[in-house]
Structure 1
Amino acid sequence: MNLFFSNPLFWLMAAAAIPLLVHLFARSRPREREFSSLIFLRRAVKRHVRLRRPKDWLLLAVRTLAAACLAAAFLLPYMAGRSMEEQGSRSVILVVDRSASMSAADGQESRISKAGVFAGQIMSDLKRGDLVNLIWADAAPAALFREPMPSHDLVNRELQRIHSRPEAANTAAALALAVEQAARTASTRPTSVYILSDFQSSNWSGVDWEKAFPPDLDVRCIQVADHERLPNTAVTSLKVMPATVLPGQSVTVQAVLSNFGSQPVRVTAHLEAGSLRASRTAEIPAGAKETVSFQAQVPASVEEWPVFVTLDHDAFPADDTAGTVVRVGASLQCDAVTQDEAQLGFMMKALRFIPFLDVQSAGGLGREQPDFIVWNKPEKEDLKKMEALAEAGSVIVAVPDFSGDAVANALMGLPDGPRTFSEYEKTGKGWTLNAALPDDSVFDLFRGGDAASPLDARVFRRLNEGLAPDSWNDLVSVLVRYEDGVPAIARRVKGRGALVLWNVPVQSMDADWGKSPLFLPFLAEAMLKSRQEGVGEAAPEPGRDFPSWILPDTLDAADVVLTGPDGAELLCKESRLSSGKRLLSSVAPAVPGTYVWSGRHAAGMPLHTQVVNFPVGESNLQTLAAGNLPASVAVVTASGKLVEVTGRIPLWPWLLGAAVLLFALELWLSSLPVRTVHDGKEAQS
């Protein structure tokens, strides 16, 4: 058995000297003065002190021992037996975490460097006949050998080239692979699994240690992180609204900035989008997030528009940049679902006059996922299809059947009730329209003192009742109301798209809105501003996915070159999708950065661009508490030597109990009567 201390603050043991110091300084001696009449008194005092001295020394010893026990308890000592020297030929499985957080500078060196040093120490303690295997805990964990081998030199060579990877670790797969490797030798020799990691919370918090390993397998967790929580700021989200835009269109760029430290920080975010540059400053509380927004205008002559937001670099710069690629289209698709275009009246005419819309009309849905759908007289059986399209990014404008409609309530996610839409009503006088949400972006184009109202119209037929002005709350945004409060235009956000209820007739006999010169721009704004993030393109996840691109029919795979973030050409392979389309993918998994697909024989002209961002979970450098790890022991001494022990027996409870008993003994000794001597006779006082 060996003695170890969990707390390295050994200077606490100096507290044991406090009683001695108090004892010494308390025995101050007064100035000596000779008086003949005090000779006999001095003799009496000497006898008194001589008789008390043994008791004082006993009190001093008890107090000193009690203080020493109390100070030693704070060092958290424990007894444990060494295992390395006691075992014979054995098998060792090294699981080394190479996730992105391991590159963090923790103290004077990075966490991954410490993992390499400690792994080397374990290797140096192995005997010639011991077996070993090395498992990299990456996004796709892999073992160096098919089974544990006595090839120590190969493992040491790999450890000398150790480096972290910009990806999250698949801890469940890594541990499962370690168990599989350990099972190959556990029946023939003692087998140990060593896990060297910072045990970052985002990677390891979901591990059930009791279920991850067999109960008889020796598992050692070696924590290479010096600090449980390192400060870090990162760009954890970036989106452009909408994601699919038109040339010259104004868009909003939103970046989410996260502070993973324990102190508030002030950061500056820099937008870089082509020739556009802008900056925003944000105050982020400890452990919180802040969103910064930029307004930008899409260039007029591009098909792809890369956008990046960057923070001033900190001690962990890998996550200080995030990017996306905005697809710029010449037009947006709009399908008109109607049996007869005349049923859509002046709305259909207006749609054909909107320059950025590619309008197609059919009795059913024409294209797979158009940007906009104007759906005339939707039926109940159409609702699921409409919601699925909205979830995927389409904006659906539903124009109900004003001869009586029961679909409007379900379209807005509401049950039928006494205050919901029921049937149409007419009036000869006509109702007027009012903006219900004047601050909504739909009305941005019409702001200003001289701007005319886009709602200058009279309506003579509508679905009646509806709901009271404040009844829909968070379910639906009512953009336009009639003068008596009945909703006229309402929008329900669904996924990346929206469902818009257009409770305004589109026939000239029922409304004169079509005669207004502002109806066309209002209709265009209502459709554009109802879009959310857009469909966009799913970005590959670093280490797990592969940069890929669906080849146009006019190109062959041999005519396309893929360059990675470092500008080097990457190997690619072609595969065929179930739809018959050809997919060109990189052979190597994605890493953060920009990938450009370009023509081999077209002077390197870019054809497609992808941006892979840093994995969000790796930005939080907080580690698991020691109590959340298995009970195995791995101690790093002050000299940096790794000492591995088993059978931990904590001693601090015993030391704390001994200190309490000694203090009680000291109180009892102090309460004893003092013995004095008068004329050669003892007395108690």
Structure 2
Amino acid sequence: MNIIFSNAYIFPFLLLLALPLLLHLLARKKPPLYDFSSLEFIRKIVKHSIRMKRPKDILLLVLRTLFVLFIVWLFLKPLFFGKGLPGAFSGSRNIVIIVDATASMRYIEAGQTRFSMACAEASEILSGLGKNSKANVIWLKLRPQGIYPGPSLNKTYIQECLAKADANSETGDPATAFELALKMLEGTDGAREICIISDFQNSQWESFKPVTPGGVKLISVKVGNGNAANLAVTRIFVEPAFPLAGEEEKIYAEIKNYSSEPRRTTVFFQLGGLRKNMSVMVPAWGTASSAFRIDGKKAGTYTLEISIGEDLFPEDNQRWAFLNVAPALKIGVCENSKENMTAKFWLRALNAVSWINAESIALNDADAIKKCDIIMLAGWDGRMAETLKEFLASGAGVFCMPAEGMPLQSLSELSGLKKTQAGKALLENLSEPLGLQISAPGDKVFSIFSEGTYGNPAGGTFHRRFNINAGGEVLLRYRDGIPALTRNRNKGTFYFWNMALDGKDGAFAKRQQFLPFLAELLLDARPLIGRTAKHYMPGEEAQLKLSPEMAGREIKLFSPESKLCNIKNRISGNCAILSGVLQSCGVYCWKSGENIIERTIVNFPQIESDLRTVSSKKIESFGILSESGSVKLLHEGLELWPFILAAVMALLLLEGLVMLWAERK
């Protein structure tokens, strides 16, 4: 706490405080003296011992002394600084203002966004700076950026930028913005300050721990009234995730309630010209899902849009997703040798299904594997394990029939199960044919067999098998308990196939249930993720690799509002790459003329939907916590003369009342 006197040269006038005392001494009445010998003794006692004064004289002396003191203090023009630097007396100042321009700042409060409040606050701070002071503004977003490379004297232009600016839908990086501000203040002369203006959203600022070097003061200004209720569309998913042409789909929309009260809203669904809606009740701090059933579509890529009713934070009320309808499942069958009958029976069955496009591919052809939706390994010997792991991690499916002599550890690593087995896979000749049993009758792969129309999926007997317990969920097992078909679903779906299809090993592949059962397994193993969809966050950079045939074309990137976006062209090896920053949410299109080359979706960052803010104690730990509109007061101080003038007038009034009281008495 500091008090600075603007007119310190008036301090000598404090000697006038002696004036009321002198006036009182000179104004004392001296009655005439009459010497009576009989009273002389009493007079001396009164003079030297009692000497009493009237209360009126004491009160007037005190009031008039205070009056002179306050008059002198009034002309000294004192300024009060509760905290911070006395800016008016610190010479030139260098201040960098970090203005939060993230998505949460677009919340509407009192008829305006929090970002508008922050810009007004920053402009007011700039207007209070002297002509020799320098300033700059850093926009806090995914990639923080300053208006100038460093503090500048041109504060008028900065205020113009503040008036025109708008927040975006990006997340922010407070630590990077703070480091940038410190770098701008390096080597500057005079007072150095960093001012952060933000709503201090909890998800963004909770982990922020600034280290302020000596000589730099940090001021935090919070805009907005703290926590705000909000509803958001947080997720869209399709079931099945990889639909085929003509197949019915369900579209699920997840709505989240960021408030302490249950809220009802209407969910709107749009797919081309198809529109649907339904009402849902979302519990406090919980989620609710709405499901929309749609008829089968033709093969192609469709754009889904889910939205909810308007609220005070409309930015997260919409979300988009791609619906990729495939014409067929592309399945690659890898065989260990030409004599492998399992691969041949697989291919023969797959070619009989209209929605399957199957072909035999080489196991060492990584590019061919990546183009498939499902890989079926007939006689896998452990090669290309890393490629197959990446393929599974992408959400695809793998069927594995091991080769005799394959290390069992390779099977454990590929399946994703931590259980490591020693030894090798060895075929076991059974003394008598052994049949199968269904271990999970309630699983959806067995649902079409419930009425017996398609036969018994566990029918048939086997003469040879692998005595391997691969782990995972057992769907079929031999009657002695050894697994015949297991499944492990993680990012992708892995099937361990322990049923030899060679005629000498059994007749399972020749039974009527084999084809429908295999088809159900393939539908279950299809990709769990729409692998062709590209999703970005606001502020990220989308890239388009140009194929050789597209190298000479003029390609443009259009925003959701059909505005042309700025793009950059660079060469990486023998490939040309176009890139552009995606500022807002929606569907972006890469076009060559009128032809759409690729679509890109930008969805609102879910982390920005939670509008809860950090506590004042946490903000104060950053540095000085200032209320909105009070930073200028921190710099210039509070002028005390109006309060002193009021005190002077009160003293004059009080003196009059004392005089009136004394006269009446």
TM-score by length of 1: 0.73
User: How much has 1:421 moved relative to structure 2?
Assistant: 8.2
8 A Cα contact 2:335 2:380, kept in partner: no
Range with greater deviation from structure 2 (564-573 or 93-102): 564-573
Q: Structure 1 residue 93: deviation in Å?
A: 0.9
Cross-structure match for 2:118 = 115
Q: Decide which structure has the larger Cα Rg and report it.
A: 2
Moved more, 478-487 or 173-182: 478-487
For residue 583 of structure 1, what is the aligned residue in structure 2? 577
Q: Structure 2: how far apart are the matches of 1:410 and 1:133?
A: 55
Q: 1:539 aligns with which of 527, 532, 535?
A: 535
Matching residue of 1:490: 486
Separation in structure 2 between the aligned mates of residue 118 and residue 408 of structure 1, nearest angstrom: 63
> 1:596 pairs with 589, 593, 615, which one?
589
How far 1:80 sits from its partner (Å)? 4.1
How far apart in 1 are the matches of 2:254 and 2:423? 41
Change (3 A) 1:617 1:389: same
Matches of 1:362 and 1:518, distance apart in 2: 26
Deviation at 1:202, TM superposition (A): 2.0
Deviation at 1:149, TM superposition (A): 1.3
Please tell me whether residue 372 in structure 1 is matched to residue 374 in structure 2. Answer: yes
Query: Is the Cα contact below 8 Å between 1:593 and 1:611 reproduced in 2?
Result: yes
In the TM superposition, what is the alpha-carbon distance from 1:304 to its structure 2 partner? 1.4
Partner of 1:340: 337
Please state if 1:325 is matched with 2:322.
Answer: yes
Q: Which residue of 1 aligns with 2:627?
A: 636
Residues 380/448 of structure 1: CA separation in 2 closer, same or farther (3 Å cut): same
Check conservation: 1:392, 1:535, Cα contact below 8 A: yes
Cα 1:570–1:415 change in 2 (3 A) is: closer
Partner of 1:388, secondary structure, is: helix
Distance 1:82 1:159, change over 3 A: same
Counterpart secondary structure, 1:159: helix
Closer, same or farther in 2 for the Cα pair 1:190/1:544, shift >3 Å?
A: same
* 1:333-379, Cα deviation, whole Å (9 max, x unpaired): 32222133441242231123333333332442331412111112223
1:29 is aligned to: none
State whether residues 107 and 312 of structure 2, in contact with CA within 8 Å, keep that contact through their aligned partners in structure 1.
yes
Q: What are the equivalent positions in structure 2 for 1:12-91 lying under 5 Å apart?
A: 80=83, 83-91=86-94
Name 1:254's counterpart in structure 2. Answer: 252
Q: Residue 567 of structure 1: SS of its match in structure 2?
A: coil
- The answer to whether residue 214 in structure 2 is matched with residue 209 in structure 1 is no
The 3-state SS of whatever aligns with 2:536 is coil
Structure 2 unaligned spans of 5+ = 4-80, 636-665
The one of 312, 316, 320 equivalent to 1:315 is 312
8 Å CA contact 2:382, 2:411 repeated in 1? no
Alignment of 1:493-504 (within 5 A): 493-495=489-491, 497-504=492-499
For residues 222 and 409 of structure 1, do their structure 2 counterparts lie closer, same or farther at Cα, with a shift above 3 Å needed?
A: closer
- Residue 129 (structure 1) aligned to one of 116, 128, 132: 132
TM-score, length of structure 2 as denominator length: 0.75
Give me the identity figure in percent.
23
Distance 1:516 1:410 in 2: 33
| Offset, 1:230 | 0.8
How far, CA to CA, are the matches of 1:633 and 1:313 in structure 2?
Answer: 37
From 386, 389, 401, the equivalent of 2:388 is: 386
Offset of residue 416 of structure 1? 5.2
Matched ranges for 1:423-572 at <5 A: 424-434=428-438, 436-446=439-449, 452-464=455-467, 466=469, 476-495=472-491, 497-530=492-525, 531-546=527-542, 548-556=543-551, 558-572=553-567
Please give the secondary structure, in 1, of the residue aligned with 2:233.
strand
Deviation at 1:430, TM superposition (A): 2.7
Note if contact 1:96-1:115 (Cα within 8 Å) is conserved in structure 2: yes
Alpha carbons of structure 1 residues 139 and 81: separation in structure 2 relative to 1, 3 Å: closer
Output aligned runs, 1:111-260, within 5 Å. Answer: 111-185=114-188, 188-210=189-211, 213-227=212-226, 229-241=227-239, 243-260=241-258
Cα separation, 1, equivalents of 2:454 and 2:569: 56
Per-residue deviation, 1:591: 2.0
For this pair of structures, how many residues does the alignment match? 550
2:656 aligned residue: none
Q: Cα 1:147–1:405, aligned 2, differ >3 Å: closer, same or farther?
A: closer
Deviation at 1:479, TM superposition (A): 2.4
Question: What residue number does 2:419 align with?
Answer: 415
Tell whether the 8 Å contact from 1:298 to 1:305 is kept in structure 2 after alignment.
no
TM superposition shift of 1:104: 0.3
Query: How has the CA–CA distance of structure 1 residues 428 and 293 changed in structure 2, closer, same or farther, with 3 Å as cutoff?
Result: farther
- The letter of the residue matching 1:616 is Q
- Tell me the distance in 1 between the aligned counterparts of 2:330 and 2:557: 30
Report deviation, 1:316.
0.9
Relative distance call for 1:568 and 1:81 in structure 2 (3 A) is closer
Q: State the Cα RMSD in Å.
A: 3.1
**Structure 2 residue identity aligned to 1:598:** K
* Range with greater deviation from structure 2 (399-408 or 312-321): 399-408
Contact 1:549 1:583 in 2 (8 A): yes
User: Is the 2:103–2:167 contact (alpha carbons within 8 Å) kept by the matching residues of 1?
Assistant: yes
CA distance in 2, matches of 1:532, 1:223: 44
**Larger CA deviation: 626-635 vs 126-135:** 626-635
Residue 240 of structure 1 deviates from its aligned partner by: 3.0
SS in 2 for 1:623: coil
Aligned pair in 2 of structure 1 residues 144, 574: CA closer, same or farther (>3 Å)? closer
2:520 alignment partner, SS class: helix
Mapped partners of 2:456, 2:270: distance in 1: 37
Quote the offset at 1:325 in angstroms: 1.7
1:395-436, CA deviations, whole angstroms, 9 ceiling, x for partnerless residues?
1100123688735555442535699987534253431332x3
Q: Which runs of 5+ in 1 are unaligned?
A: 4-77, 647-685
Structure 1: distance between partners of 2:347 and 2:522: 14
Deviation of residue 191 (structure 1)?
Answer: 0.9
Aligned-residue offset at 1:146:
1.9
- Structure 1 residue 192 displacement after superposition: 0.8
Partner AA of 1:636 in structure 2: E
CA distance in 2, matches of 1:273, 1:444: 30
TM-superposed CA distance for 1:306, in Å, is: 1.0
8 Å contact from structure 1 (residues 140, 544) kept in 2? no
Amino acid at match of 1:205: E
Report if aligned partners of 2:381, 2:405 keep a CA contact under 8 Å in 1.
no
